[in-house]
């Protein structure tokens, strides 16, 4: 039997990143009949244009009153129509051919809605299929070109993630103004840092410094602990491991660090044929209880066809012979990556 312990500890240095997703700008357009548009331009020119200096003030007043009345009647019977739309960035795969197909589609849609004939609906449906085919071909060509331009492992996965994973929209809390919300964020993190500092100072005052503080730059010195024991030695091994973890926790406190009990794992491994399997309880580590996970069964019947020993040969035999006959691990990875991407993006 073996008992292993793994701990992930980190210093409390909270940081935050606040992103603001800007909404798309909105543009407005005016729509109206050509004849009314010409009349509106004429009335606007008469109202705001230059007057003849030879005209009297009374004549100017009556002309202005006449033009204002005409403009009021025109607005009442033929008002201008305003339409607003979001100005979105153009898709990189969009082309003039796709735009022409969209214009033709809208023209056929208006014709079908105006007449309601089945033949016009068929024309509209064919235009929809043609437009969708053009968009699919253009998008596929664009994605394949982007993948071919980024053949390195890091850049390739970054490009693929940008295609498949959508960035989540940021939901800000209720607020009256952005400066007030920024002050709330600042006060929250300032108070959090102060509370952590006070807690660490209290922990540091309760221990005695018996050795020099830690001067390294990483936590790689913390090795997992393994302890083999028999079933009748379970309590003694638990006590030894608890003392070891408590000593590490004390060392972390002296260096203004804290043991994260939530990420501290204690795994109990035992044989499937054991007559007296040990019971998983909890380790007492400085007042905190670290749960011990149960032994993971390794028998085939617990997994069935999902077991690696069953599915691995099937997966290996399904690969092409050129991949299975690779001479090195690097060549195998390269061929496997090319095979997976060609299968995913094949026409």
Supply the pLDDT for residue 331.
Answer: 85
- What rounded mean pLDDT belongs to the chain? 72
Supply the pLDDT for residue 6.
Answer: 40
pLDDT tens-digit series, residues 155-202:
777 777 777 666 666 677 888 888 888 888 888 999 998 888 888 777
Task: Give the pLDDT band (50/70/90) at residue 75.
Answer: confident
Task: Give the pLDDT band (50/70/90) at residue 139.
Answer: confident
Q: What is the mean pLDDT of residues 209-213?
A: 49
Supply the pLDDT for residue 245.
Answer: 75
Mention every residue, 6+ apart, whose C-beta is less than 8 A from residue 34.
Answer: none
183 vs 244 pLDDT, higher one = 183
State the Cα–Cα distance between residues 164 and 18, nearest whole angstrom.
23
Q: What is the mean pLDDT of residues 70-89?
A: 74
Lowest-confidence region among 27-41, 70-84, 236-250: 27-41
Long-range contacts of 22-27 (CB under 8 A, 24+ apart): 24/86, 24/87, 24/88, 25/86, 25/87, 26/84, 26/85, 26/86, 26/87, 27/84, 27/85, 27/86, 27/87
111 vs 40 pLDDT, higher one = 111
pLDDT tens-digit series, residues 86-97:
777 677 888 889
Task: Count CA atoms closer than 13 A to 170's CA, side-chain side.
Answer: 9
Which is nearest to 36 in space by CA: 73, 84, 82, 69? 73
Residue 300 pLDDT > 50: no
Supply the pLDDT for residue 330.
Answer: 80
Q: What is the mean pLDDT of residues 57-78?
A: 73
Lowest-confidence region among 8-17, 88-97, 121-130, 233-242: 8-17
Supply the pLDDT for residue 174.
Answer: 81
Supply the pLDDT for residue 237.
Answer: 73
Which is nearest to 200 in space by CA: 192, 190, 211? 192
Q: What is the mean pLDDT of residues 326-336?
A: 84
DSSP code at position 256? T
């Amino acid at each position: 039997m073996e008992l292993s312990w793994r701990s992930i500890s980190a210093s409390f240095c909270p940081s935050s990143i606040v992103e603001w997703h800007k909404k798309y700008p909105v543009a407005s357009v005016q729509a109206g009949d050509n004849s009314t548009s010409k009349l509106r331009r004429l009335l606007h020119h008469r109202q705001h244009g230059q007057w003849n200096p030879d005209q009297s003030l009374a004549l100017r007043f009556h002309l202005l009153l006449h033009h204002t009345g005409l403009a009021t009647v025109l607005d009442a019977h033929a008002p201008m129509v305003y339409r607003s739309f979001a100005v979105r960035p153009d898709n990189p795969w969009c082309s003039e051919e796709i735009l022409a197909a969209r214009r033709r589609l809208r023209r056929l849609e208006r014709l079908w809605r105006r007449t309601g004939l089945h033949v016009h609906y068929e024309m509209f449906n064919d235009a929809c299929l043609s437009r969708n085919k053009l968009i699919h071909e253009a998008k596929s060509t664009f994605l394949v070109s982007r993948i071919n331009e980024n053949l390195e492992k890091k850049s390739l996965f970054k490009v693929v993630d940008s295609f498949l994973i959508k960035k989540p929209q940021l939901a800000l809390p209720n607020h009256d103004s952005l400066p007030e919300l920024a002050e709330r964020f600042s006060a929250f993190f300032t108070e959090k840092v102060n509370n952590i500092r006070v807690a660490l100072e209290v922990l540091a005052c309760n221990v005695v410094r018996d050795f020099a503080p830690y001067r390294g730059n990483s936590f790689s010195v913390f090795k997992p602990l393994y302890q083999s024991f028999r079933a009748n030695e379970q309590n003694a091994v638990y006590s030894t491991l608890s003392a070891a973890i408590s000593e590490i926790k004390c060392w972390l406190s002296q260096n203004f660090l804290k043991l994260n009990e939530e990420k501290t794992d204690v795994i109990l491994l035992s044989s499937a044929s054991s007559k007296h399997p040990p019971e998983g309880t909890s380790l007492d580590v400085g007042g905190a209880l670290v749960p011990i996970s149960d032994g993971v069964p390794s028998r085939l019947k617990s997994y069935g066809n999902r077991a690696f020993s069953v599915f691995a040969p099937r997966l290996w035999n399904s690969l092409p012979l050129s991949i299975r006959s690779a001479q090195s691990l690097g060549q195998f990875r390269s061929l496997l990556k090319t095979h997976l991407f060609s299968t995913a993006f094949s026409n």
